[in-house]
Amino acid sequence: MRVKTVLVIQCGALGDLICSTSVIDAVARQFGPGTRIDFVCKPGPGALFFLDNRVNKVFKVNHCKWPVWLHPAKRAVVNSSRAVPYDLLINFGSGKQFRGLVKKTRAGRKVGFHSMESHFPKGIHMVDALKSLFSDVIDDEHLWRALPSLVGTSAEEVKTTYGLDHRYLVVSPSNSHHRKKNVNHRAWEEGSWAELIDALSRDIQVVVVGSHSEDDFFNRLRPFPAGVVDLVGKTSVVDLVGVIDGAVGLVATDTGTAHVASATGTEVFALIGPTPACETAPYQGPANTVHIISANLPCSPCYKTEAMKTCRDNRCMKEISVSDVYDLVAASCLGGQGFHNKKSAAS
């Protein structure tokens, strides 16, 4: 199969897009590094590709439920394919809102959702499940060597720009459900975050990251201890990639920044309760380290089940102790004493 141009459709959240980036490596290995790859994705996550020369063009599609005839960005994709048809279309969008776009876009071959009888496997990691959607066009030797990867601002440049130490640790306390009025099942206690940041900041420079839209959440954690670098809402997406890339580690819940760390090879400490770690946690590859920190309750995981809908107390997250998180980070990244010994010495 001769392929020179590829269109990839992935309009999910930041973590979904990162999990899909293994397709870039797979296509380059199979068809050559000069293969032109275009992406269709949401504007926010799509900023990941701003510095990525492996991606030729990004079609930014918001309001994905609008039909093609009513959606200027979707029409731009279709019209571009009419002028120069793609050799291969890979669609990761399972929703019916992508059916019309896949049908109307011209491509020599189409794989993925809405283009064949696709079986999306359960019980395996999202990265590997997404790979299965294009496995018919990629040789096995290339398919399973392909990993999620990102291109951001260089680690040295962001250290200079934001005044970061040579060694620092990133803490990412928020997640995409921080505005939920009821229980944010994936969230760790705000008091626990504050205590962890305080303890870690005594050993290493702590850098706190998050979106400017999350200020209400972060204001409940502020003021941070002296020496903590507050980058909430202050970085571009590609700078955020660079900040995480240059860190000795990142502490987060099951959220987009954890996937950034995994894709850049930064050690990840992921606090996980309701979500299935085997499917949606940061991806464990041959060159990175992912620590899953869980209370291991019998009701976990419960994500998108009736149990989660009726849960009013996310004990699976509340029962993850600050000392457990601190001790694991200290042992792996800091070489410091345990949390309880540290508190005794400080008192």
Q: What is the pLDDT of residues 182-217, one digit of tens each?
A: 778 889 999 999 999 999 999 999 999 999 889 999
pLDDT digits (tens, 9 = 90+) for 134-176: 999 999 999 989 999 999 999 999 999 999 999 999 999 998 6
Q: What is the pLDDT of residue 61?
A: 96
CA angle, residues 174, 125, 176, in degrees to nearest 5: 20
Q: What is the pLDDT of residue 339?
A: 62
Q: Burial of 245 by CB count in 10 Å (0-12 exposed, 13-18 middle, 19+ buried)?
A: buried
**Other residues' Cβ atoms within 10 Å of the Cβ of residue 288:** 18
Give strand pairing partners of 89: 7, 110
Q: Is the pLDDT of residue 87 over 80?
A: yes
Tell me if 71 sits within 8 A of 104, measured CB to CB: no
Number of H helices, E strands in the chain: 17, 11
Cα distance between residue 251 and residue 270, in whole Å? 6
Same fold, 5-143 and 155-346: yes
Tell me which CATH code domain 155-346 carries. Answer: 3.40.50.2000
Instruction: Supply the DSSP symbol for 32.
Output: -
Q: Which residues of 18-50 are buried (b: 16+ CB within 10 A; e: fewer)?
A: bbbbbbbbbbbbbbeeebbbbbbbbeebbbbbb
The pTM of the whole model exceeds 0.85 = yes
What residue segments make up the domains of the chain, in order of their start? 5-143, 155-346
Q: What is the pLDDT of residue 183?
A: 76
Higher pLDDT, 261 or 116: 261
Pick the CATH number of 5-143 from 3.65.10.10, 3.40.50.2000, 2.40.70.10, 3.40.50.720: 3.40.50.2000
